[in-house]
Amino acid sequence: MDLETRITQFKSLIESDPDNDMAHFSLGNALLQAERLDEAAESFIRCTEINRGMTKAFQLAGRALIDSGKKDQAQEILTWGYIESVTRGDMLPKKAIEEMLGEIDAPIPEVVQKGDQSNTPTSGGDFRCSKTGQMGHKLARPPFKNGVGKWIQDSISKETFDEWISMGTKIINELRLDLSRDDHDAAYDYAMRLYLGLTDDLFKQVMDGAEPPMPDGQFTGVIEDIMAMGGHLESEQGNLHTRVE
């Protein structure tokens, strides 16, 4: 399907469902690929207005605005995006937004993560999770018998890891992953690293220099979109799977 056809389809979907955040996000992606930067930025910004949890949309709006020479507008949307990504623990958009703010010589806002305001345990535990900044319980044992498993036990609370298991199940079901296949296992592993904030550099550090397994390109964008949606896949009703067939 060519870009113009995709753009027309997403616009038609938005006409029938103006508050569909994913439709605005997908339209923005198509417009960005077509190098229609101002329109792409407008679509991504509308997506963030509907759903501030779509932190990837802040990132891509900023990119489109920078590339179209609108640095002041880019600074405004990227600043909001940085705040949202930090408070939500969305590490991939946070890193990208931070780099773009540096690219336009804009200050990095100071953000206090949720849970950092007090040392009082919010989940009845005495272990602080590196992803959320909130107190919880430490995992009784590493979930995997390798450096990643040890990092998760040392850094991620049981509550957060349980949330990942729920998210991971959604991803397996939505993308119809068969974890006996290396490419599908790599896609699941990539999603887990994004969700928990395990960067590529940190992966190499905890795995004695080994490169992180990367999924095929067909999976990468879809998984990043899922992370941007905060795992709210119910409205997609299998649509994401068609992007990796």
CATH of the domain at 82: 1.25.40.10
- Is the domain of 133 the same as that of 234? yes
- Is the domain of 133 the same as that of 240? yes
- Is the domain of 57 the same as that of 140? no
**Nearest 5°: phi and psi at 106?**
-100, 145
Q: Which of 42, 69, 103 is a domain's end point?
A: 103
- State the average pLDDT for the chain: 84
The pLDDT of residue 22: 77
Position 26 in a domain: yes
The pLDDT tens digits of the residues spanning 199-224 come to: 999 999 999 999 999 988 878 878 87
Residue predicted with more confidence, 5 or 78: 78
The pLDDT of residue 134: 84
The pLDDT of residue 65: 97
CA separation for the pair 158, 28 (Å, rounded): 36
The pLDDT tens digits of the residues spanning 57-108 come to: 999 999 999 999 999 999 999 999 999 888 877 777 888 999 999 999 999 9
Compute the average pLDDT of residues 151-159.
94
CA separation for the pair 20, 52 (Å, rounded): 13
Strand partners, 135: 128
- Answer whether residue 122 shows pLDDT above 50: no
- Is the domain of 134 the same as that of 237? yes
Position 89 in a domain: yes
**Nearest 5°: phi and psi at 163?**
-65, -40
Q: What is the pTM of this model?
A: 0.56
Q: Is residue 52 within 8 Å of residue 158, measured between CB atoms?
A: no
CA separation for the pair 141, 148 (Å, rounded): 12
The pLDDT tens digits of the residues spanning 156-215 come to: 999 999 888 888 877 887 788 888 788 898 999 999 998 898 999 999 999 999 999 998
Q: The CATH number of the domain where 175 resides is what?
A: 1.10.3880.10
Query: What helix, strand, coil percent values describe the chain, rounded to 5?
Result: 60, 0, 35
Position 142 in a domain: yes
Residue labelled with tokens 């994401």 = 240
Q: Are strands 127-128 and 135-136 parallel, antiparallel or unpaired?
A: antiparallel
- Is the domain of 75 the same as that of 145? no
- Is the domain of 99 the same as that of 132? no
- Is the domain of 46 the same as that of 83? yes
- Answer whether residue 117 shows pLDDT above 60: no
Q: How many CB atoms lie within 10 A of CB 123?
A: 17
- Is the domain of 69 the same as that of 137? no
Virtual torsion, Cα 33, 36, 41, 42, nearest 10 deg: -120
- Is the domain of 150 the same as that of 70? no
The pLDDT of residue 245: 54
Q: Which of 103, 118, 138 is a domain's end point?
A: 103
- Answer whether residue 138 shows pLDDT above 70: yes
The pLDDT of residue 177: 82
Print the domain residue range for 164. 127-244
The pLDDT of residue 21: 82
Position 112 in a domain: no
Q: List the one residue out of 53, 50, 25 whose CA is nearest residue 40.
A: 25
Looking at residue 173, the DSSP 8-state letter turns out to be H
The pLDDT of residue 142: 93
Position 28 in a domain: yes
CA separation for the pair 215, 172 (Å, rounded): 14
- Is the domain of 137 the same as that of 236? yes
Position 220 in a domain: yes
Position 113 in a domain: no
- Is the domain of 167 the same as that of 74? no
CA separation for the pair 47, 42 (Å, rounded): 9
The pLDDT of residue 119: 41
Number of domains in the chain: 2
Q: Which tokens is 109 given? A: 């806002």
Position 179 in a domain: yes
- Is the domain of 150 the same as that of 230? yes
Q: List the one residue out of 71, 57, 60 whose CA is nearest residue 101.
A: 71
